[in-house]
Structure 1
Amino acid sequence: MKGRILTLTAAAMSIVLLAFSVPLAISIWNGAASRALAEANAQIQYLGELMVTVDAAALDLAVKGINSGGQQVTVYLSDGSRLGNPAEASKAVELAKTGRSLTAETKGGAEVLYAVTDRSNGISVIRSFVPDQVLRAGVVQSWLWLAVLALVLFLGGLLLAAKLAGTLLRPIEDLVRVSQRVAAGDLDARVEVSGPEEIRSLGQAHNDLTRRIRVLLQEERERSADLSHRLRTPLTSLQLEIDSVKDAELAERLTERALALEDAVSHSIAQARLSGSGSEAGTESSAAEIIAERLRFWSPLAADTGRTVSAGELPAISVPVGPEEFAACIDAAFQNFFMHTPSGSSLEISMVAGAAEDLLLIRDDGPGLPGAGGREVLRRGVSGSGSTGLGLDIIARTAERTGGRLELADSPSGGAELRIIFGRSSSGL
């Protein structure tokens, strides 16, 4: 950004300096010519005053004295004779003999002509030739000084712009860095309030917003923890009911599920009270092992309900999420399968390793996803089958925290196909 500001400043200053320098350079050019012509005009007017008071001999001496200083003055007398510097009469000289004084351009310079009525009442013409080098004397030096001044102003302006840009951009860059830290989950990051008043107000507002987000998140965690804690009461009641079941095999299965539910509730309480985001950042999971373990867990329920769950290819892949989070993702997929497919349906789960991403593929032969392509059910809390609509959202958020995504499609058998893509490194908040 600083480079763009300096570039725009340089362009603007160049335009301004050109707008002032070009007219000034032209003025210097014209001023030098005006001074030279004014000096020549003063000399010939002096000779014109002499012509009405002295004779030709005295006038000739005066002309020679002026020319000895490097001037080129010629006097064309009314009787046809000529004094001073030898020069043929030009058309401008002939025009001046009609009584008109003028300045005209000629080869190699300019001639200043002064018409005078002499002692014989005739029209004499005094001519002073000003060469080009005299007309432009000092112009190059003045232009050089003008260029040096423009360069100094340009560099000074750039230095000033760089300093001002630094003053403005440093707090903005700090604000960007802190915003990125907050986006990464560091809610303790604060902007150092500095710079102009407007930027200071922006930094202070950002700090206030971060503090407010932290308070809201803490309140949300507390509410989640309290809700999870309240679930312990019905769990205790459920455990008492299980203890009264006479069928030992059924009681064992129910106890196993109740314990799993209690573990999930306990984990929810612990995660909700964490000071961070609750994600298991920086950890990895062995996908094949967790999938195999969850298959063992869900297989009895599948057998009881006339469904089939199986595993396809499961290469040794580590996904960048914690074991419990990955297991919750798998469980959400199984729960959707049991809730939204009829008895007799089957599900297959497999993984494919890619160059930069890993694919978890879950296919069933149920009725498929509701809506156009099933995209609507990815909205949190939306369900086409009367459920809470949070299962697919849990899966999607788990994938997105790794830099991946969840894609929905129809399986080859016409059921639902979940393509859960995990990035190779976690980028979660």
Structure 2
Amino acid sequence: MLTTIRRQLMFHVVATTLLILVAFFLPLAATVRSISADDKVAQAAVEAESLVPILMREEPEALALSVESLAAGGTDEFSIFMPDGRVLGDQATASAALRLAQRGYSLVAETPGGREVLLSVIGREEGPIVVRAFVSDAVMYEGVLEAVATLALLGLFLLLIGVLVTYLISTRFTRPLRELAEVSRRLGRGDLTARAHGGGSVELVDVAAALNYLARRISELVKGERERVADLSHRLRTPLTALRLETELLDDATERDKLNRAVDQVETTVTDAIRTVRGADDGPASCDATAVIGERLEFWSSLAAEQHRRITTRLPTGPLQVAAARAELADAFDVLVSNIFRHTARGTAFAVALTPRPDGGAILEITDEGPGFADTAVRRGRSGGGSSGLGLDIVRRVAEHSGGDLTLGAAPGGGALVRAELGPPVPGRPA
């Protein structure tokens, strides 16, 4: 399919070429038609003049033979009107132009179906002799149609040449634009190494340079942001180490083990955050959603048992691969379950269901028997429960980055329903 600029260029060239061809073709066709008619009429006049010497001295019987020979030469009708009223050659109806010629005037007159050349010969005692040569329209315009058709074919050939040249020029002109568009799309997909080579006009070179500068600035900003996040995550290790040392001083073994598990979880999350930031250029990874959700359910089960919350689970019996990193999926699941513990009363039951997605991937549904959502729109930084509103946005980004989406709704029992669709893993990506 032709590009918009190419279509516009070709339309303008075709329209302009057609106007020029029509402006030249119509007058040229009329000129060819007029020249052909004048040529045939002049030829008939020459043939009629060739009889003048004979008309001055020959008798009518000899003139009849000359008329027959001229008629055989190609003229449609050839007649000689004698002063005594006799007509030699082809019979013709007397017209106003013929009567004028009989008074001594030579002329060419339009007549139905063609033109007649009337030559008045004065010099005999009986009076003027009129030689009439009739040229029909078919004879006058013989070959005009072929000439006009040749001109039309020439015009069509020139039009095709113009379209071809325009196509080549527009291709050369739009190639840098297509390159700029492709670089922009690659940058939009997260490929910060994409660069435009430039080319074409000075303006396009300037646009390519500006796009490359923008890509470099984005790369620098993203790199700096990743380093700051990694540094921040790494600095969290110091207070975590201090917290672990303080935990070891507890006398209650049960509480000590519980706090150690919590510290381990935070340390694992920090480590995963550092790895995620450092390896952000590797693109989306993949993991077994069944294994990840199963492990996190085991972690949350002990806390749910302490708060007398009943958990209903429905997990696949086999692995279910999704396009999300293991740590990201675990964090997203933790966000959803922690929201239940935070925003519902003790003893509120919830259910977790993980099912295969029809087109690959998985569907994670979490429902509870709480009050439900006051607002089902997922907006970053906004929450109706007094929180920062970032938790559900984290889940949304994980789902969308995998090729799925996140929707909020009402559970059949009136509580909250969170449905996160996770896309299938991309071939060739690391697991």
Q: TM-score, normalised by structure 2?
A: 0.82
The Cα shift of 1:78 comes to: 4.6
2:260 aligned with 1:255: yes
Q: 1:293 to 1:60 in 2, by over 3 A?
A: same
- Which residue identity lines up with residue 216 of structure 1 in the other structure? L
> Which residue number in structure 2 is paired with residue 329 of structure 1?
332
2:359 aligned with 1:384: no
How many angstroms apart in 2 are the aligned matches of 1:338 and 1:95? 122
The Cα shift of 1:56 comes to: 7.2
Q: Deviations over 1:295-327 (max 9, x none)?
A: 111122223334333412434322122211211
- Which residue identity lines up with residue 103 of structure 1 in the other structure? A
How many angstroms apart in 1 are the aligned matches of 2:406 and 2:248? 41
> Which residue number in structure 2 is paired with residue 34 of structure 1?
38
The Cα shift of 1:42 comes to: 6.2
Q: Please list, as runs of the form range in 1=range in 2, the aligned pairs for 1:22-171 lying within 5 A after superposition.
A: 24-41=28-45, 54=56, 64=67, 69-71=73-75, 72-83=77-88, 85-91=89-95, 93=97, 96=100, 101-107=107-113, 109-113=114-118, 125-171=130-176
Q: 1:121 to 1:245 in 2, by over 3 A?
A: farther
- Which residue identity lines up with residue 222 of structure 1 in the other structure? E
Aligned length: 417
> Which residue number in structure 2 is paired with residue 294 of structure 1?
296
The Cα shift of 1:223 comes to: 2.4
2:367 aligned with 1:367: no
Question: Contact (CA 8 Å) 1:25, 1:143: kept in 2 or not?
Answer: yes
> Which residue number in structure 1 is paired with residue 417 of structure 2?
417
1:37 match: secondary structure: helix
1:409 match: secondary structure: strand
How many angstroms apart in 2 are the aligned matches of 1:216 and 1:95? 103
2:198 aligned with 1:193: yes
Correspondent of 1:355 among 355, 358, 383 = 358
Question: Could you list the runs of 5+ residues in structure 1 that have no partner in the other structure?
Answer: none
Question: Contact (CA 8 Å) 1:284, 1:323: kept in 2 or not?
Answer: yes
How many angstroms apart in 2 are the aligned matches of 1:218 and 1:231? 20
The Cα shift of 1:218 comes to: 1.2
Q: Deviations over 1:36-61 (max 9, x none)?
A: 234445665x589989x956759959
Q: Please list, as runs of the form range in 1=range in 2, the aligned pairs for 1:209-248 lying within 5 A after superposition.
A: 209-248=214-253
How many angstroms apart in 2 are the aligned matches of 1:31 and 1:387? 94
How many angstroms apart in 1 are the aligned matches of 2:99 and 2:189? 90
Question: Contact (CA 8 Å) 2:84, 2:126: kept in 1 or not?
Answer: no
How many angstroms apart in 2 are the aligned matches of 1:390 and 1:8? 53
- Which residue identity lines up with residue 128 of structure 1 in the other structure? A
Question: Contact (CA 8 Å) 1:96, 1:125: kept in 2 or not?
Answer: no
Question: Contact (CA 8 Å) 1:294, 1:330: kept in 2 or not?
Answer: yes
Q: 1:321 to 1:275 in 2, by over 3 A?
A: closer
Question: Contact (CA 8 Å) 2:81, 2:129: kept in 1 or not?
Answer: yes
1:260 match: secondary structure: helix
More deviation, 306-315/385-394: 306-315
Question: Contact (CA 8 Å) 1:403, 1:426: kept in 2 or not?
Answer: no
1:388 match: secondary structure: coil
- Coordinate RMSD, CA, aligned: 3.6
2:180 aligned with 1:175: yes
> Which residue number in structure 2 is paired with residue 399 of structure 1?
399
> Which residue number in structure 1 is paired with residue 287 of structure 2?
285
- Which residue identity lines up with residue 149 of structure 1 in the other structure? L
How many angstroms apart in 2 are the aligned matches of 1:367 and 1:164? 66
- Which residue identity lines up with residue 74 of structure 1 in the other structure? S
Q: Deviations over 1:193-241 (max 9, x none)?
A: 1122333233222222211211121122122223323433443443344
How many angstroms apart in 2 are the aligned matches of 1:306 and 1:181? 51
- Which residue identity lines up with residue 360 of structure 1 in the other structure? L
Q: 1:245 to 1:114 in 2, by over 3 A?
A: farther
How many angstroms apart in 2 are the aligned matches of 1:347 and 1:257? 22
Q: 1:366 to 1:92 in 2, by over 3 A?
A: farther
> Which residue number in structure 2 is paired with residue 341 of structure 1?
344
How many angstroms apart in 2 are the aligned matches of 1:187 and 1:163? 32
The Cα shift of 1:405 comes to: 0.9
How many angstroms apart in 2 are the aligned matches of 1:98 and 1:60? 18
Correspondent of 1:304 among 297, 303, 306 = 306
2:281 match: secondary structure: coil
Identity of aligned residues (%): 33
Q: 1:177 to 1:102 in 2, by over 3 A?
A: same
The Cα shift of 1:180 comes to: 3.3
The Cα shift of 1:364 comes to: 0.9
The Cα shift of 1:391 comes to: 1.2
How many angstroms apart in 1 are the aligned matches of 2:140 and 2:323? 83
How many angstroms apart in 2 are the aligned matches of 1:276 and 1:386? 35
